[in-house]
Amino acid sequence: METITGANGCDGFPKIKVAIVGGGLVGTLSACYFAKRGHEVHLYELRPDIRELEHVPGRSINLALSVRGRAALKEVGLEEQLVQRHGIPMYARMIHELDGSTRSIPYGKKDQCIYSVGRRFLNESLLTAAEKYPNVHCHFNQKLVSANLKQGQMTFERQPSKEIEQVEAQLVVGADGAFSSVRKQMMKQPLCDFSQTYIPHGYLELCIPALSDGTHAMPKNYLHIWPRGRFMMIALPNQDASWTVTLFMPFDEFGKLDTPQRLLAFFKEHFPDAVPLIGEEKLVSDFFACKPSPLVSVKCGPYNIGDTALIIGDAAHAMVPFYGQGMNAGFEDCRLLDAVLLKHKFDVGPALKEFSTTRRPDAEAICGLAMYNYVEMRDLVNRKSFLIRKKVDSLLHSLMPNLWIPLYTSVTFSHMPYAQCIKNKEWQDKVRHTKQNQHDYLINKRQFYRS
Ligand code: FAD
Ligand code: EGU
Protein backbone atom coordinates (compact mmCIF):
# COMPACT_ATOMS: atom_id res chain seq x y z
CA MET A 1 0.00 0.00 0.00
CA GLU A 2 1.31 3.40 -0.96
CA THR A 3 1.27 6.04 1.74
CA ILE A 4 1.25 9.80 1.68
CA THR A 5 4.26 12.00 2.28
CA GLY A 6 4.40 15.74 2.68
CA ALA A 7 0.74 16.67 2.53
CA ASN A 8 -1.20 18.54 5.16
CA GLY A 9 -0.76 16.36 8.20
CA CYS A 10 -1.65 13.22 6.26
CA ASP A 11 1.81 11.65 6.27
CA GLY A 12 1.63 7.88 6.59
CA PHE A 13 -2.05 7.70 5.67
CA PRO A 14 -2.90 5.46 2.73
CA LYS A 15 -2.69 7.14 -0.65
CA ILE A 16 -5.76 6.42 -2.72
CA LYS A 17 -6.57 6.65 -6.38
CA VAL A 18 -9.79 8.64 -6.59
CA ALA A 19 -11.93 9.01 -9.70
CA ILE A 20 -14.29 11.97 -9.55
CA VAL A 21 -17.10 11.77 -12.07
CA GLY A 22 -18.40 15.25 -12.97
CA GLY A 23 -16.34 18.39 -13.28
CA GLY A 24 -19.09 20.81 -12.26
CA LEU A 25 -18.96 22.99 -9.18
CA VAL A 26 -18.88 20.19 -6.62
CA GLY A 27 -16.64 17.74 -8.50
CA THR A 28 -13.92 20.30 -9.07
CA LEU A 29 -13.99 21.44 -5.44
CA SER A 30 -13.86 17.84 -4.27
CA ALA A 31 -10.84 17.30 -6.55
CA CYS A 32 -9.08 20.16 -4.74
CA TYR A 33 -9.82 18.61 -1.35
CA PHE A 34 -8.52 15.13 -2.29
CA ALA A 35 -5.49 16.66 -4.00
CA LYS A 36 -4.68 18.80 -0.98
CA ARG A 37 -4.48 15.61 1.09
CA GLY A 38 -2.00 14.10 -1.35
CA HIS A 39 -4.16 11.55 -3.17
CA GLU A 40 -4.08 10.65 -6.85
CA VAL A 41 -7.10 12.34 -8.41
CA HIS A 42 -8.67 11.75 -11.81
CA LEU A 43 -11.51 14.04 -12.80
CA TYR A 44 -13.83 12.88 -15.60
CA GLU A 45 -16.12 15.40 -17.23
CA LEU A 46 -18.68 14.84 -19.96
CA ARG A 47 -18.31 18.29 -21.51
CA PRO A 48 -15.24 19.73 -23.18
CA ASP A 49 -12.99 21.97 -21.08
CA ILE A 50 -15.32 24.94 -20.51
CA ARG A 51 -12.34 27.29 -20.35
CA GLU A 52 -11.94 26.78 -24.08
CA LEU A 53 -15.60 27.28 -24.99
CA GLU A 54 -17.12 30.53 -26.08
CA HIS A 55 -20.58 29.67 -24.85
CA VAL A 56 -21.39 27.18 -22.09
CA PRO A 57 -24.84 25.69 -22.39
CA GLY A 58 -26.79 24.86 -19.28
CA ARG A 59 -28.17 26.19 -16.12
CA SER A 60 -28.31 29.42 -14.18
CA ILE A 61 -25.70 31.98 -15.03
CA ASN A 62 -25.16 33.19 -11.50
CA LEU A 63 -25.77 31.86 -8.03
CA ALA A 64 -26.05 33.05 -4.45
CA LEU A 65 -23.12 31.89 -2.38
CA SER A 66 -23.44 32.02 1.38
CA VAL A 67 -21.57 31.04 4.54
CA ARG A 68 -21.51 27.27 3.99
CA GLY A 69 -20.15 27.48 0.48
CA ARG A 70 -17.61 30.10 1.49
CA ALA A 71 -16.30 28.03 4.40
CA ALA A 72 -15.68 25.11 2.05
CA LEU A 73 -13.86 27.28 -0.50
CA LYS A 74 -11.77 28.78 2.27
CA GLU A 75 -10.31 25.43 3.29
CA VAL A 76 -8.75 24.99 -0.13
CA GLY A 77 -7.60 28.61 -0.16
CA LEU A 78 -10.08 29.91 -2.73
CA GLU A 79 -12.50 31.99 -0.70
CA GLU A 80 -10.60 35.26 -0.98
CA GLN A 81 -10.12 35.08 -4.75
CA LEU A 82 -13.53 33.72 -5.71
CA VAL A 83 -15.81 35.42 -3.25
CA GLN A 84 -14.28 38.53 -1.75
CA ARG A 85 -12.71 39.64 -4.99
CA HIS A 86 -15.14 38.45 -7.64
CA GLY A 87 -18.49 38.07 -5.87
CA ILE A 88 -20.99 40.89 -5.66
CA PRO A 89 -22.27 41.27 -2.10
CA MET A 90 -26.03 41.40 -1.65
CA TYR A 91 -26.95 42.88 1.73
CA ALA A 92 -30.71 42.76 1.32
CA ARG A 93 -33.56 41.64 -0.86
CA MET A 94 -35.32 44.27 -2.86
CA ILE A 95 -38.98 43.50 -3.35
CA HIS A 96 -40.65 44.89 -6.47
CA GLU A 97 -44.37 45.46 -6.01
CA LEU A 98 -46.81 45.37 -8.88
CA ASP A 99 -47.04 49.18 -8.94
CA GLY A 100 -43.27 49.45 -9.42
CA SER A 101 -42.54 50.55 -5.86
CA THR A 102 -39.72 48.76 -4.07
CA ARG A 103 -38.76 48.01 -0.50
CA SER A 104 -35.71 46.35 0.87
CA ILE A 105 -35.39 43.81 3.66
CA PRO A 106 -31.83 43.36 4.95
CA TYR A 107 -30.40 39.88 5.42
CA GLY A 108 -29.10 40.71 8.84
CA LYS A 109 -26.69 43.03 10.54
CA LYS A 110 -24.85 45.64 8.49
CA ASP A 111 -22.07 43.41 7.18
CA GLN A 112 -24.13 40.25 6.71
CA CYS A 113 -24.52 39.44 3.05
CA ILE A 114 -24.61 36.71 0.46
CA TYR A 115 -22.62 36.91 -2.78
CA SER A 116 -23.68 36.71 -6.38
CA VAL A 117 -21.10 34.71 -8.32
CA GLY A 118 -20.98 33.60 -11.92
CA ARG A 119 -21.32 29.85 -12.40
CA ARG A 120 -18.89 29.82 -15.26
CA PHE A 121 -16.29 31.91 -13.42
CA LEU A 122 -16.58 29.65 -10.36
CA ASN A 123 -16.34 26.46 -12.39
CA GLU A 124 -13.39 27.66 -14.47
CA SER A 125 -11.53 28.93 -11.40
CA LEU A 126 -12.12 25.66 -9.58
CA LEU A 127 -10.84 23.70 -12.59
CA THR A 128 -7.72 25.84 -12.77
CA ALA A 129 -7.20 25.51 -9.02
CA ALA A 130 -7.58 21.72 -9.22
CA GLU A 131 -5.15 21.45 -12.12
CA LYS A 132 -2.52 23.37 -10.17
CA TYR A 133 -2.06 20.27 -8.02
CA PRO A 134 0.40 17.96 -9.79
CA ASN A 135 -1.62 14.98 -8.52
CA VAL A 136 -4.84 16.03 -10.33
CA HIS A 137 -5.52 14.76 -13.84
CA CYS A 138 -8.50 16.12 -15.79
CA HIS A 139 -10.16 14.08 -18.51
CA PHE A 140 -12.68 16.02 -20.61
CA ASN A 141 -15.23 14.72 -23.11
CA GLN A 142 -15.59 11.56 -21.05
CA LYS A 143 -19.09 10.33 -20.35
CA LEU A 144 -19.61 7.68 -17.72
CA VAL A 145 -21.89 5.10 -19.31
CA SER A 146 -21.66 2.19 -16.91
CA ALA A 147 -19.81 1.07 -13.83
CA ASN A 148 -19.20 -1.77 -11.45
CA LEU A 149 -18.94 0.35 -8.37
CA LYS A 150 -18.13 -2.49 -5.99
CA GLN A 151 -15.03 -3.18 -8.06
CA GLY A 152 -14.27 0.50 -8.70
CA GLN A 153 -14.57 -0.10 -12.45
CA MET A 154 -15.95 2.52 -14.81
CA THR A 155 -16.69 2.66 -18.52
CA PHE A 156 -16.38 6.01 -20.27
CA GLU A 157 -17.50 6.93 -23.74
CA ARG A 158 -15.37 9.57 -25.40
CA GLN A 159 -17.33 12.47 -26.92
CA PRO A 160 -18.12 12.71 -29.74
CA SER A 161 -16.24 9.69 -31.14
CA LYS A 162 -17.96 7.24 -28.73
CA GLU A 163 -14.69 5.41 -28.21
CA ILE A 164 -14.93 3.27 -25.07
CA GLU A 165 -12.40 3.39 -22.27
CA GLN A 166 -12.22 1.27 -19.10
CA VAL A 167 -10.91 2.89 -15.95
CA GLU A 168 -10.30 1.68 -12.41
CA ALA A 169 -10.02 3.50 -9.12
CA GLN A 170 -10.08 2.66 -5.44
CA LEU A 171 -12.74 5.27 -4.80
CA VAL A 172 -15.36 6.58 -7.25
CA VAL A 173 -16.89 9.92 -6.26
CA GLY A 174 -20.06 10.73 -8.19
CA ALA A 175 -20.45 14.50 -8.51
CA ASP A 176 -22.31 14.27 -11.79
CA GLY A 177 -25.36 16.32 -10.92
CA ALA A 178 -29.11 15.86 -10.56
CA PHE A 179 -29.33 13.17 -13.27
CA SER A 180 -26.26 11.36 -11.99
CA SER A 181 -25.07 8.26 -13.83
CA VAL A 182 -23.08 7.15 -10.80
CA ARG A 183 -26.27 7.28 -8.74
CA LYS A 184 -28.10 5.22 -11.38
CA GLN A 185 -25.47 2.52 -11.01
CA MET A 186 -25.64 2.76 -7.23
CA MET A 187 -29.40 2.44 -7.07
CA LYS A 188 -29.19 -1.01 -8.64
CA GLN A 189 -27.93 -2.26 -5.28
CA PRO A 190 -30.44 -3.67 -2.83
CA LEU A 191 -31.53 -1.40 0.04
CA CYS A 192 -30.92 1.79 -1.91
CA ASP A 193 -33.71 4.39 -1.69
CA PHE A 194 -34.47 6.81 -4.46
CA SER A 195 -37.18 9.31 -5.19
CA GLN A 196 -37.43 12.30 -7.47
CA THR A 197 -40.09 14.96 -7.77
CA TYR A 198 -40.60 17.49 -10.52
CA ILE A 199 -42.47 20.63 -9.57
CA PRO A 200 -45.04 22.14 -11.95
CA HIS A 201 -42.84 25.23 -12.32
CA GLY A 202 -40.05 25.66 -14.82
CA TYR A 203 -37.57 28.48 -15.11
CA LEU A 204 -36.20 30.63 -17.87
CA GLU A 205 -33.35 33.10 -17.75
CA LEU A 206 -33.51 36.63 -19.10
CA CYS A 207 -31.06 39.48 -18.97
CA ILE A 208 -31.15 43.11 -17.95
CA PRO A 209 -28.23 44.65 -19.82
CA ALA A 210 -25.81 47.17 -18.35
CA LEU A 211 -26.61 50.85 -18.83
CA SER A 212 -24.71 52.68 -21.54
CA ASP A 213 -22.38 54.16 -18.91
CA GLY A 214 -21.44 50.63 -17.81
CA THR A 215 -23.36 50.65 -14.51
CA HIS A 216 -26.09 48.37 -13.17
CA ALA A 217 -29.64 49.31 -14.17
CA MET A 218 -30.93 48.58 -10.63
CA PRO A 219 -29.37 49.07 -7.19
CA LYS A 220 -26.48 46.65 -7.34
CA ASN A 221 -26.06 45.09 -3.91
CA TYR A 222 -29.46 43.44 -3.68
CA LEU A 223 -31.18 40.23 -4.60
CA HIS A 224 -34.19 41.56 -6.49
CA ILE A 225 -37.48 39.72 -6.19
CA TRP A 226 -40.79 40.15 -7.96
CA PRO A 227 -43.10 37.89 -5.92
CA ARG A 228 -46.39 37.32 -7.72
CA GLY A 229 -47.71 34.12 -6.19
CA ARG A 230 -47.83 31.65 -9.07
CA PHE A 231 -45.20 33.61 -10.98
CA MET A 232 -41.98 34.87 -9.55
CA MET A 233 -38.89 36.61 -10.83
CA ILE A 234 -35.50 36.87 -9.19
CA ALA A 235 -32.50 38.90 -10.37
CA LEU A 236 -28.86 38.57 -9.32
CA PRO A 237 -26.14 41.04 -10.36
CA ASN A 238 -23.26 40.14 -12.69
CA GLN A 239 -19.74 41.54 -12.79
CA ASP A 240 -20.29 43.07 -16.23
CA ALA A 241 -23.10 45.24 -14.77
CA SER A 242 -25.85 43.14 -16.32
CA TRP A 243 -28.44 41.20 -14.34
CA THR A 244 -29.51 37.61 -14.76
CA VAL A 245 -33.23 37.46 -14.27
CA THR A 246 -34.87 34.12 -13.61
CA LEU A 247 -38.56 33.74 -14.27
CA PHE A 248 -40.30 30.90 -12.40
CA MET A 249 -43.69 29.89 -13.71
CA PRO A 250 -45.82 26.75 -14.21
CA PHE A 251 -45.06 25.04 -17.51
CA ASP A 252 -48.64 25.38 -18.69
CA GLU A 253 -48.42 29.15 -18.23
CA PHE A 254 -45.17 29.21 -20.21
CA GLY A 255 -47.07 27.36 -22.90
CA LYS A 256 -49.66 30.14 -23.13
CA LEU A 257 -47.02 32.77 -23.90
CA ASP A 258 -46.66 31.66 -27.48
CA THR A 259 -46.53 34.99 -29.30
CA PRO A 260 -44.53 38.21 -28.72
CA GLN A 261 -47.83 40.04 -28.14
CA ARG A 262 -48.94 37.65 -25.42
CA LEU A 263 -45.51 37.73 -23.82
CA LEU A 264 -45.37 41.52 -23.69
CA ALA A 265 -48.93 41.76 -22.39
CA PHE A 266 -48.07 39.25 -19.66
CA PHE A 267 -44.94 41.15 -18.62
CA LYS A 268 -46.70 44.49 -18.67
CA GLU A 269 -49.40 43.07 -16.46
CA HIS A 270 -47.20 41.27 -13.93
CA PHE A 271 -43.71 42.80 -14.12
CA PRO A 272 -44.30 46.27 -15.62
CA ASP A 273 -41.18 47.86 -14.12
CA ALA A 274 -38.92 45.15 -15.57
CA VAL A 275 -40.02 45.65 -19.18
CA PRO A 276 -38.08 48.86 -19.92
CA LEU A 277 -35.06 47.47 -18.04
CA ILE A 278 -34.87 44.36 -20.19
CA GLY A 279 -36.13 46.16 -23.31
CA GLU A 280 -39.12 44.89 -25.29
CA GLU A 281 -37.10 43.60 -28.22
CA LYS A 282 -34.56 41.81 -26.07
CA LEU A 283 -37.30 40.37 -23.88
CA VAL A 284 -38.97 38.83 -26.91
CA SER A 285 -35.80 37.49 -28.49
CA ASP A 286 -34.32 36.11 -25.24
CA PHE A 287 -37.61 34.57 -24.15
CA PHE A 288 -38.18 32.71 -27.40
CA ALA A 289 -34.52 31.76 -27.79
CA CYS A 290 -34.80 29.00 -25.19
CA LYS A 291 -37.27 26.68 -23.61
CA PRO A 292 -38.03 26.78 -19.90
CA SER A 293 -36.08 24.21 -17.86
CA PRO A 294 -37.57 21.84 -15.32
CA LEU A 295 -36.79 21.80 -11.61
CA VAL A 296 -36.29 18.51 -9.84
CA SER A 297 -35.81 17.44 -6.26
CA VAL A 298 -34.00 14.18 -5.52
CA LYS A 299 -33.70 12.24 -2.32
CA CYS A 300 -31.76 9.00 -2.14
CA GLY A 301 -29.54 6.96 0.07
CA PRO A 302 -27.27 5.63 1.28
CA TYR A 303 -24.70 7.84 -0.44
CA ASN A 304 -21.98 5.18 -0.47
CA ILE A 305 -21.31 1.62 -1.52
CA GLY A 306 -18.88 0.14 0.96
CA ASP A 307 -15.47 1.72 0.60
CA THR A 308 -15.49 2.10 -3.18
CA ALA A 309 -18.15 4.65 -4.17
CA LEU A 310 -19.85 7.80 -2.95
CA ILE A 311 -22.18 10.44 -4.38
CA ILE A 312 -22.09 14.11 -3.37
CA GLY A 313 -23.68 17.39 -4.43
CA ASP A 314 -26.75 17.35 -6.65
CA ALA A 315 -26.08 13.69 -7.45
CA ALA A 316 -26.97 12.92 -3.84
CA HIS A 317 -29.48 15.68 -3.07
CA ALA A 318 -30.72 17.84 -5.92
CA MET A 319 -33.17 20.42 -4.63
CA VAL A 320 -35.45 23.13 -5.97
CA PRO A 321 -33.60 26.47 -5.89
CA PHE A 322 -35.92 28.30 -3.50
CA TYR A 323 -33.45 28.54 -0.67
CA GLY A 324 -30.36 29.32 -2.72
CA GLN A 325 -28.61 26.37 -1.06
CA GLY A 326 -27.92 23.68 -3.70
CA MET A 327 -24.33 24.62 -4.43
CA ASN A 328 -23.76 25.68 -0.83
CA ALA A 329 -24.88 22.27 0.40
CA GLY A 330 -22.72 20.54 -2.23
CA PHE A 331 -19.68 22.57 -1.20
CA GLU A 332 -20.42 21.77 2.42
CA ASP A 333 -20.45 18.07 1.44
CA CYS A 334 -16.84 18.47 0.28
CA ARG A 335 -15.77 20.05 3.55
CA LEU A 336 -17.58 17.52 5.73
CA LEU A 337 -16.31 14.58 3.68
CA ASP A 338 -12.76 15.79 4.07
CA ALA A 339 -13.24 16.18 7.82
CA VAL A 340 -14.66 12.69 8.23
CA LEU A 341 -11.91 11.12 6.09
CA LEU A 342 -9.31 12.89 8.17
CA LYS A 343 -11.00 11.75 11.36
CA HIS A 344 -10.78 8.15 10.15
CA LYS A 345 -7.21 8.63 8.90
CA PHE A 346 -8.40 7.86 5.38
CA ASP A 347 -9.77 4.48 6.34
CA VAL A 348 -12.31 4.97 3.58
CA GLY A 349 -14.98 2.40 4.49
CA PRO A 350 -15.87 3.74 7.95
CA ALA A 351 -15.47 7.32 6.76
CA LEU A 352 -17.93 6.92 3.87
CA LYS A 353 -20.37 5.16 6.14
CA GLU A 354 -20.23 7.95 8.68
CA PHE A 355 -20.53 10.62 5.99
CA SER A 356 -23.56 8.95 4.49
CA THR A 357 -25.41 8.39 7.75
CA THR A 358 -24.74 11.83 9.19
CA ARG A 359 -25.17 13.84 5.99
CA ARG A 360 -28.34 12.25 4.72
CA PRO A 361 -30.75 13.68 7.31
CA ASP A 362 -29.28 17.13 6.80
CA ALA A 363 -29.41 16.92 3.02
CA GLU A 364 -33.00 15.74 3.16
CA ALA A 365 -33.76 18.58 5.55
CA ILE A 366 -32.57 21.26 3.13
CA CYS A 367 -34.28 19.55 0.19
CA GLY A 368 -37.46 19.60 2.26
CA LEU A 369 -37.00 23.22 3.31
CA ALA A 370 -36.45 24.31 -0.28
CA MET A 371 -39.61 22.48 -1.37
CA TYR A 372 -41.56 23.89 1.55
CA ASN A 373 -40.40 27.38 0.62
CA TYR A 374 -41.54 26.81 -2.95
CA VAL A 375 -45.01 25.92 -1.79
CA GLU A 376 -45.08 28.78 0.70
CA MET A 377 -43.93 31.37 -1.83
CA ARG A 378 -46.35 30.11 -4.44
CA ASP A 379 -49.38 30.02 -2.18
CA LEU A 380 -48.84 32.51 0.59
CA VAL A 381 -46.75 35.49 -0.49
CA ASN A 382 -49.67 37.79 -0.62
CA ARG A 383 -51.59 36.46 2.31
CA LYS A 384 -51.82 38.69 5.34
CA SER A 385 -51.20 36.10 8.05
CA PHE A 386 -47.99 35.05 6.30
CA LEU A 387 -46.67 38.58 6.00
CA ILE A 388 -47.49 39.27 9.63
CA ARG A 389 -45.68 36.12 10.75
CA LYS A 390 -42.60 37.21 8.75
CA LYS A 391 -42.73 40.67 10.31
CA VAL A 392 -43.03 39.27 13.83
CA ASP A 393 -40.08 37.01 13.03
CA SER A 394 -37.90 39.95 11.98
CA LEU A 395 -39.03 42.02 14.93
CA LEU A 396 -38.18 39.28 17.43
CA HIS A 397 -34.82 38.81 15.73
CA SER A 398 -34.00 42.51 15.97
CA LEU A 399 -34.97 42.52 19.65
CA MET A 400 -33.16 39.29 20.54
CA PRO A 401 -30.62 38.71 17.78
CA ASN A 402 -28.87 35.91 19.64
CA LEU A 403 -31.95 34.11 20.80
CA TRP A 404 -34.45 34.40 18.00
CA ILE A 405 -32.86 33.25 14.77
CA PRO A 406 -35.19 33.17 11.77
CA LEU A 407 -34.98 29.98 9.75
CA TYR A 408 -33.27 31.55 6.73
CA THR A 409 -30.63 33.00 9.06
CA SER A 410 -29.59 29.63 10.47
CA VAL A 411 -29.70 28.14 6.96
CA THR A 412 -27.84 30.95 5.21
CA PHE A 413 -25.57 32.45 7.85
CA SER A 414 -24.61 29.56 10.11
CA HIS A 415 -23.07 26.10 10.00
CA MET A 416 -25.90 24.56 11.97
CA PRO A 417 -26.73 21.15 10.48
CA TYR A 418 -29.79 21.67 8.28
CA ALA A 419 -31.87 19.19 10.29
CA GLN A 420 -31.10 21.25 13.39
CA CYS A 421 -32.31 24.39 11.59
CA ILE A 422 -35.69 22.73 11.26
CA LYS A 423 -35.73 21.78 14.93
CA ASN A 424 -34.87 25.38 15.72
CA LYS A 425 -37.86 26.49 13.66
CA GLU A 426 -40.17 23.97 15.27
CA TRP A 427 -39.02 25.26 18.61
CA GLN A 428 -39.87 28.82 17.60
CA ASP A 429 -43.29 27.78 16.44
CA LYS A 430 -43.84 26.28 19.86
CA VAL A 431 -42.40 29.22 21.74
CA ARG A 432 -45.03 31.42 20.29
CA HIS A 433 -47.06 29.65 22.98
CA THR A 434 -44.63 28.41 25.61
CA LYS A 435 -41.16 29.14 26.80
CA GLN A 436 -40.24 25.49 27.05
CA ASN A 437 -37.12 24.06 25.46
CA GLN A 438 -35.37 27.38 25.55
CA HIS A 439 -32.48 26.00 27.50
CA ASP A 440 -31.92 23.02 25.18
CA TYR A 441 -32.06 25.28 22.21
CA LEU A 442 -29.47 27.69 23.52
CA ILE A 443 -27.06 24.90 24.28
CA ASN A 444 -27.53 23.42 20.83
CA LYS A 445 -27.26 26.70 19.03
CA ARG A 446 -23.99 27.85 20.56
CA GLN A 447 -22.01 25.06 18.97
CA PHE A 448 -22.80 25.99 15.43
CA TYR A 449 -22.24 29.70 15.12
CA ARG A 450 -18.75 30.65 14.07
CA SER A 451 -17.66 34.01 12.79
P1 FAD B 1 -23.63 20.11 -11.58
O2 FAD B 1 -23.32 21.55 -11.45
O3 FAD B 1 -24.85 19.71 -12.31
O4 FAD B 1 -22.37 19.41 -12.27
C5 FAD B 1 -22.40 18.08 -12.71
C6 FAD B 1 -21.31 17.87 -13.74
O7 FAD B 1 -21.26 16.48 -14.08
C8 FAD B 1 -21.55 18.63 -15.03
O9 FAD B 1 -20.39 19.32 -15.40
C10 FAD B 1 -21.92 17.54 -16.04
O11 FAD B 1 -21.50 17.86 -17.35
C12 FAD B 1 -21.15 16.35 -15.48
N13 FAD B 1 -21.75 15.05 -15.83
C14 FAD B 1 -23.05 14.71 -15.83
N15 FAD B 1 -23.22 13.43 -16.20
C16 FAD B 1 -21.97 12.94 -16.46
C17 FAD B 1 -21.49 11.66 -16.90
N18 FAD B 1 -22.32 10.66 -17.15
N19 FAD B 1 -20.15 11.51 -17.05
C20 FAD B 1 -19.30 12.54 -16.78
N21 FAD B 1 -19.71 13.76 -16.36
C22 FAD B 1 -21.03 13.95 -16.21
N23 FAD B 1 -27.38 26.86 -5.56
C24 FAD B 1 -26.94 27.78 -4.68
O25 FAD B 1 -26.21 27.45 -3.73
N26 FAD B 1 -27.29 29.09 -4.80
C27 FAD B 1 -28.11 29.53 -5.80
O28 FAD B 1 -28.40 30.73 -5.88
C29 FAD B 1 -28.61 28.58 -6.73
N30 FAD B 1 -29.44 28.97 -7.71
C31 FAD B 1 -29.91 28.04 -8.59
C32 FAD B 1 -30.81 28.44 -9.56
C33 FAD B 1 -31.32 27.53 -10.46
C34 FAD B 1 -32.30 28.00 -11.51
C35 FAD B 1 -30.93 26.17 -10.38
C36 FAD B 1 -31.49 25.16 -11.33
C37 FAD B 1 -30.05 25.76 -9.39
C38 FAD B 1 -29.52 26.68 -8.49
N39 FAD B 1 -28.63 26.29 -7.49
C40 FAD B 1 -28.19 27.22 -6.58
C41 FAD B 1 -28.20 24.88 -7.34
C42 FAD B 1 -26.86 24.61 -8.00
O43 FAD B 1 -26.92 24.96 -9.37
C44 FAD B 1 -26.48 23.15 -7.87
O45 FAD B 1 -26.71 22.70 -6.56
C46 FAD B 1 -25.03 22.90 -8.23
O47 FAD B 1 -24.78 23.25 -9.55
C48 FAD B 1 -24.65 21.44 -7.99
O49 FAD B 1 -23.35 21.20 -8.43
P50 FAD B 1 -22.90 19.74 -8.85
O51 FAD B 1 -21.45 19.88 -9.20
O52 FAD B 1 -23.32 18.76 -7.83
O53 FAD B 1 -23.73 19.42 -10.15
C1 EGU C 1 -33.79 31.27 -6.33
C2 EGU C 1 -33.31 31.23 -7.62
C3 EGU C 1 -35.67 35.09 -1.56
C4 EGU C 1 -31.24 32.18 -6.88
C5 EGU C 1 -35.99 32.41 -0.97
C6 EGU C 1 -35.14 34.58 -0.41
C7 EGU C 1 -32.99 31.75 -5.32
C8 EGU C 1 -31.73 32.20 -5.59
C9 EGU C 1 -35.30 33.21 -0.11
C10 EGU C 1 -32.05 31.69 -7.89
C11 EGU C 1 -36.39 34.28 -2.40
C12 EGU C 1 -36.52 32.95 -2.13
C13 EGU C 1 -32.51 32.78 0.11
C14 EGU C 1 -31.28 33.38 0.18
C15 EGU C 1 -31.94 32.70 -2.05
C16 EGU C 1 -34.39 35.50 0.47
C17 EGU C 1 -33.38 32.48 1.25
C18 EGU C 1 -33.27 31.88 -3.90
C19 EGU C 1 -31.08 32.65 -4.38
C20 EGU C 1 -35.65 32.18 2.10
C21 EGU C 1 -30.45 32.16 -9.54
N22 EGU C 1 -32.83 32.42 -1.13
N23 EGU C 1 -32.07 32.43 -3.37
N24 EGU C 1 -34.74 32.63 1.07
O25 EGU C 1 -34.36 35.32 1.68
O26 EGU C 1 -32.93 32.08 2.30
O27 EGU C 1 -33.82 36.45 -0.09
O28 EGU C 1 -31.66 31.62 -9.20
F29 EGU C 1 -36.95 34.78 -3.49
S30 EGU C 1 -30.56 33.45 -1.35
CL31 EGU C 1 -37.37 31.95 -3.24
CL32 EGU C 1 -30.51 34.01 1.58
181 Cα to the center of ligand 1, angstroms: 14
| 292 pLDDT more than 90 | yes
Q: How far is Cα 401 from Cα 165, in angstroms, rounded to an integer?
A: 56
Probe ligand 1: pick from 25, 142, 247, max atoms within 8 Å of CB? Answer: 25
Q: How far is Cα 314 from Cα 322, in angstroms, rounded to an integer?
A: 15
pLDDT digits (tens, 9 = 90+) for 105-149: 888 888 899 999 999 999 999 999 999 999 999 999 999 999 999
Confidence of residue 436 (pLDDT cuts 50, 70, 90): very low
Probe ligand 2: pick from 231, 408, 414, max atoms within 8 Å of CB? Answer: 408
| 402 pLDDT more than 90 | no
CA atoms within 13 A on the CB side of 112: 16
Q: Whose CA is nearest to atom 24 of ligand 2?
A: 323
The percentage of the chain sitting over the pLDDT mark of 70, rounded to a whole number, equals 92
- For residue 225, give the nearest of 216, 234, 236 by alpha carbon: 234
Probe ligand 2: pick from 205, 322, 390, max atoms within 8 Å of CB? Answer: 322
Proximal ligand: closest to the CA of 225: 2
213 Cα to the center of ligand 1, angstroms: 34
| 385 pLDDT more than 70 | no
pLDDT digits (tens, 9 = 90+) for 1-60: 889 887 777 888 999 999 999 999 999 999 999 999 999 999 999 999 999 988 776 666
Lowest mean pLDDT among 112-126, 185-199, 205-219, 417-431: 417-431
Pairing verdict, β 40-44 and 136-139:
parallel
| 397 pLDDT more than 90 | no
| DSSP structural state of residue 3 | B
pLDDT of residue 213: 97
51 Cα to the center of ligand 2, angstroms: 28
Mean pLDDT of the region 192-219: 97
| 398 pLDDT more than 60 | yes
156 CA closest ligand 1 atom index:
19
pLDDT digits (tens, 9 = 90+) for 62-91: 999 999 999 999 999 999 999 988 999 999
Calculate the average pLDDT of the chain. 91
Probe ligand 2: pick from 67, 93, 248, 323, max atoms within 8 Å of CB? Answer: 323
pLDDT of residue 133: 98
- For residue 194, give the nearest of 296, 336, 325, 320 by alpha carbon: 296
Pocket (CB within 6 angstroms of ligand 2): 60, 63-64, 93, 114, 223, 225, 234, 236, 246, 321-324, 373, 377, 408, 411-412
| 157 pLDDT more than 60 | yes
- At 106, the amino acid letter reads P
Pocket (CB within 6 angstroms of ligand 1): 21-27, 44-47, 59-60, 63-64, 143-144, 175-177, 181, 203, 246, 313-315, 321, 324-328, 330
112 Cα to the center of ligand 1, angstroms: 26
Spatial contact of 30 and 334, defined as CB atoms under 8 Å apart: yes
Mean pLDDT of the region 364-379: 90
pLDDT of residue 446: 58
Return the higher-pLDDT residue of 86 and 447.
86
Q: Is 195 exposed, middle or buried (0-12, 13-18, 19+ CB in 10 A)?
A: exposed
322 CA closest ligand 2 atom index:
31
Confidence of residue 314 (pLDDT cuts 50, 70, 90): very high
Proximal ligand: closest to the CA of 320: 1
Proximal ligand: closest to the CA of 328: 1
Q: How far is Cα 243 from Cα 320, in angstroms, rounded to an integer?
A: 21
Q: How far is Cα 421 from Cα 365, in angstroms, rounded to an integer?
A: 9
pLDDT of residue 435: 47
| C-alpha dihedral sign at 376, 377, 379, 382 | positive
Q: Is the peptide bond before 190 cis (omega within 30 degrees of 0)?
A: no
| 222 pLDDT more than 60 | yes
27 CA closest ligand 1 atom index:
51
Alpha helices in 165-313 (DSSP H): 181-186, 251-256, 260-270, 274-278, 280-289
pLDDT digits (tens, 9 = 90+) for 236-284: 999 999 999 999 999 999 999 999 999 999 999 999 999 999 999 999 9
pLDDT of residue 2: 87
pLDDT of residue 450: 52
| 98 pLDDT more than 80 | yes
pLDDT of residue 146: 97
pLDDT of residue 406: 83
Spatial contact of 43 and 141, defined as CB atoms under 8 Å apart: no
pLDDT of residue 381: 57
How far is residue 438 from each of residues 346, 354, 397, 432, 443, measured CA to CA in Å? Answer: 39, 30, 15, 12, 9
